Amino acid sequence: MKYVDEFRNSKRVLKIADSIKAITPHKSINIMEVCGTHTQNFHRFGLAKLLPKNIRFISGPGCPICVSSQRYIDTAIILSRRKDIIILTFGDMLRIPGSSSSLEKERAEGANVSIVYSPLEALTIAKINPDRKIIFLGIGFETTAPAIALSIIAAKKARIKNIFFLTSLKLVLPVMRYLLLDKRLKLDAFLCPGHVSAIIGTKGYEFIAKKYKIPCCVTGFEPLDILEGIYLILKQIRSNKPEVANQYTRVVTKTGNLKAKRIISRVFKKSSADWRGFGNIYNSGLKIRTEFSLFDAEKVFPNSLAAFTLESTKGCLCGDVLKGLINPDNCPLFGKACTPDNPVGPCMVSNEGACNAYFRYR
């Protein structure tokens, strides 16, 4: 199987869309996804046109760079201005606006900022630049945490002394719990992230169904995956029997990737974390353990940490978009002052950002 064409087959897509219409209750239904790839593909493939009008598909805080705090972005910018430092990052981070600059602007001014595709590349760059301090910007959810943890373990084993990690790793389950407590959202169901679930498994979501009586379903990312996930959610709503459904059985199991979880636990510990638009959420992030503190940029460069920053640019409602309180086009800057070519907020920068997806596909 190609694992792409089969899940984009138009006949199958239209068939599941008809099945959705047949079982959709006659009331407003709010389904939130917490995954940037779901956000992008839902709009990219025009799936909203196939759903009944009373189903509202809400994009939540599933874009890792979008939820990184302004303080974290500004700290990276401040560190990039040092002549003895090389900043390594994933591509989307370059254009995220800080309080007064961005890594892209700093690079244009002479800062040594490079794009990498894996944190393991940072080790090689550190070895060939022994006179420089290499700082890798480690962002993401449980999906990217194992690779970053392995890189830190490898750096310690190789005794590389000039590599450091400035992390902004987030955990999905605590922010989902936070969203459930916000009564303004009136959530009826969650479409759970496939990438993250491959690591943590489906078991972690059980509190959503048991405590909050909210249906949820883990799904893949192709059109057929997403629509089938919505169908499985609607079946739960119709029967009034909330549970954790798993549409993405070809990848996700109940317990997840045990080896990856052990690697994460070896290097990181849970800690409170700042989320853009949310503030500080208890035990929603990962910090480097004391055993590996020699590689922790927060510990090695404490005087460079941004002490005070503006949480968002005036007029930018990225925080409300991430919470699902508004659609991107409800922001007064959307499509005017804020576009993918001239982003004001992070939700317009990344391909996984809700504002970017709305702009490109709607």
At the fourth CATH level, the homologous superfamily of domain 71-170+260-304 is HypD, alpha/beta domain 2 (3.40.50.11740)
Query: Measured between alpha carbons, how far is 351 from 340 in angstroms, rounded to an integer?
Result: 9
pLDDT band at 308 (very low <50, low <70, confident <90, very high): low
- Which residues have C-beta within 8 Å of that of residue 205, sequence separation ≥ 6? 173, 176, 190, 192, 197, 216, 218, 244
Domain boundaries, the chain: 71-170+260-304
Across the chain, mean pLDDT equals: 94
- What is the rounded distance in angstroms from the CA atom of residue 11 to the CA atom of residue 249? 22
The HSE-up count of residue 77 (CA atoms within 13 Å, CB side) is 25
3-state secondary structure of 165: strand
Average pLDDT over residues 150-156: 98
The pLDDT of residue 82:
96
Classify each residue of 73-83 as buried b or exposed e, where b means 16 or more C-beta atoms within 10 Å of its C-beta: bbbbbbbbebe
**Contact status, residue 346 vs residue 353, Cβ threshold 8 Å:** yes
Q: How far apart are CA 2 and CA 71, in angstroms?
A: 43
Q: So what's the pLDDT on residue 92? A: 86
Backbone phi, psi, residue 68, to 5°: -65, 135
| Amino acid making up residue 51 | L
Q: Which of 1, 3, 14, 2 is nearest to 228 (CA)?
A: 14
SS3 for 287? strand
**What is the DSSP code (8-state) at residue 108?**
H
- What average pLDDT does this structure show over 73-83? 95
pLDDT score at 305: 66
pLDDT for 5: 79
H or E segment and range at residue 342 = none
> Which two three-digit tokens encode residue 98?
């800080």
- In this structure, what DSSP letter does residue 296 have? B
Strand order across the beta sheet in which 189-192 lies: 55-59, 29-33, 189-192, 216-218, 244-246
Q: Can you tell me which residue has the tokens 């990690």?
A: 165
Surface-to-core class of residue 116, CB atoms within 10 Å of its CB (0-12 exposed, 13-18 middle, 19+ buried):
middle
Buried b (16+ CB within 10 A) or exposed e, 300-311: ebeebebeebee
Q: Which of 350, 264, 337 is nearest to 66 (CA)?
A: 350
* Banded model confidence at residue 303, pLDDT cuts 50, 70, 90: confident
Residue 295's pLDDT is 98
pLDDT reported for residue 287? 98
Do 253 and 205 meet the contact criterion of CB atoms below 8 Å apart? no
| Tokens coding 99 | 């309080």
**pLDDT tens-place string over residues 84-99:** 999 999 988 999 999 8
> What pLDDT, on the 0 to 100 scale, is given for residue 4?
77
Contact indicator for 228, 16 with CB cutoff of 8 Å: yes
CA distances from 27 to 30, 174, 234, 336 (A): 10, 29, 12, 34
Q: What is the pLDDT of residues 122-150, one digit of tens each?
A: 999 999 999 999 999 999 999 999 999 99
- Rounded Cα distance between 335 and 122, Å, is 36
Q: For residue 155, what pLDDT band results from cuts at 50, 70 and 90? A: very high
The single-letter DSSP state of residue 339 is B
Question: Would you call 282 helix, strand, or coil by DSSP?
Answer: strand
The two structure tokens encoding residue 46: 């025009």
CA distance 128 to 233: 52
Closest by Cα among 237, 185, 239, 198 to 216: 237
